[in-house]
Amino acid sequence: MKITNICCIGAGYVGGPTMAIIAQKCPDIKVTVVDLNEDRIAKWNDTDVNNIPIYEPGLSEVVAEARGRNLFFSTEVDKAIDEAQMIFISVNTPTKTYGSGKGMAADLKYIELCARQIARVSKQDKIVVEKSTLPVRTASAIKNILHNTGNGVQFQILSNPEFLAEGTAVEDLLAPDRVLIGGDTTEEGQSAIKSLVDVYSRWVPSERILTTNVWSSELSKLTANAFLAQRVSSINAMSELCEKTGADVSEVAKAIGMDSRIGSKFLKASVGFGGSCFQKDILNLVYIAKTYGLNEVADYWEQVIIMNDHQKRRFSKNIVATLYNTVADKKITFLGWAFKKDTNDTRESAAIYVADDLVFEQAKIAVYDPKVSHKQMLSDLNYLETRTKEENDKFVSSFEDPYEACKEAHAIAVLTEWDEFNEYDWQRIYDSMLKPAFVFDGRNLLDGKKLQAIGFHYQEIGS
């Protein structure tokens, strides 16, 4: 089937950028991104493309090129489903907060709602593509819903997991390491796979497009994120040992990273990994392993999460201990709130949990992040439900000027590796702070020797 009309349900961090690139590279294909969130769709349609809801370098330019030509954003979900030949499901799959599997399993209620809506609306055969991160064998559940509640329409289910990294999403989509497509081994399933391969092959080399069965594709996504998160937790575990023994974790990371069998990526010690995928996918993997009675496998992967949580707590405890065991009424400036640079995504950001710990100690948190709003910061803290919204609002403030954020602070904590932090006039910052002035570098980003020469008491993870 030659695809000329695509619908994507979900206008978030995956659906929006992915569909924008497909529209840019395939101008003959109509691409419609739908979402029930009217405010989000309105932002995607804003006449000023710099105001789109997701910040990714290069994304606004892609949207500007394709929007109105063959890229559309709409709240008319039924209409888009009815017209499309291929439907991507890219809705949220958070970790369950209730019932069986609470705290580990993926909550699939939004996936099921999408499947039922597709079944209700569809009048012609369609290809349905899983784009959200899902547990193994979710495609089977989607297939059952579509075939048993539909209108006699034939559906083919494909798994096409995303491997995007926030901050480099456009680059990852334009030149991916691989595109993975899983489908049935039947003739119809292979035909559906080919239809999606033909879309991606418009700009992705054929050798980078991998086809598998559905189950292998679904599990590959969880496994990839688990392996990457494992590397982060491994080097963070070594950073604590380095602090006790006098070793330099940066030197250790460089030494082992030069081993071609290991490589250097994801070996930078930090305050911990964040983002929407790593923790959620590992917990999902743990739940799957426990479901099959593989308790040793579950324990192994769960330790990656335990180490990551420990690293965040260790960082906040170090701040308190260094500041004479009390931070009550002390201003502590956070440079960065997003979980990594070049994104406004704050999901599972280490900054949230470090701030939560320090507010418990009654510290006054002043935050500067170039892309994250004060409203989002408070929303992140309120989501934890560890105190009232009024208390969070009392102890956490944000600034549009980093120098104002640092003024009269007792300490600065670097929580995101924004490049601009390296360009600041740190002498000016030091002069504006209360003395002694401390910098806690949770991202090993700044030049500690220069800061110490100015007069800062500088500490980094693994120092």
| Alpha-carbon radius of gyration of the chain | 23
- Paired tokens of 359: 């507010």
CA angle centred on 140, ends 74 and 275, rounded to 5°: 55
Q: Specify the amino acid at residue 171.
A: E
φ, ψ for residue 389, nearest 5 deg: -60, -35
Identify each DSSP E strand in 165-280 by its residue range. Answer: 179-183, 209-213
> In a 3-state reduction of DSSP, which class is residue 279?
helix
Give the containing element (helix H, strand E) for 138: helix 138-149
φ, ψ for residue 129, nearest 5 deg: -115, 120
Give the containing element (helix H, strand E) for 47: none
- Paired tokens of 411: 């300490």
CA separation, residue 453 to residues 402, 417, 419 (Å): 21, 22, 21
Contacts of residue 242, Cβ cutoff 8 Å, sequence gap at least 6: 248, 249, 252, 462
Exposure of 458 by Cβ count < 10 A (0-12 exposed, 13-18 middle, 19+ buried)?
Answer: buried
Separation between Cα atoms, residue 170 and residue 268, nearest integer Å: 23
Pairing state between β 209-213 and 364-368:
unpaired
Rounded to an integer, what is the distance from CA 442 to the centroid of its chain?
19
Q: Which of 97, 110, 91 is nearest to 40 (CA)?
A: 91
The answer to whether residues 158 and 192 touch, using CB atoms and an 8 Å cutoff, is yes
The answer to whether residues 217 and 181 touch, using CB atoms and an 8 Å cutoff, is yes
CA separation, residue 370 to residues 104, 381, 403, 413, 418 (Å): 32, 19, 13, 15, 9
- Paired tokens of 375: 């409203």
Separation between Cα atoms, residue 52 and residue 75, nearest integer Å: 16
Q: Which of 418, 417, 437 is nearest to 427 (CA)?
A: 437
Active site residues: 162, 221, 277
Give the containing element (helix H, strand E) for 321: helix 295-322
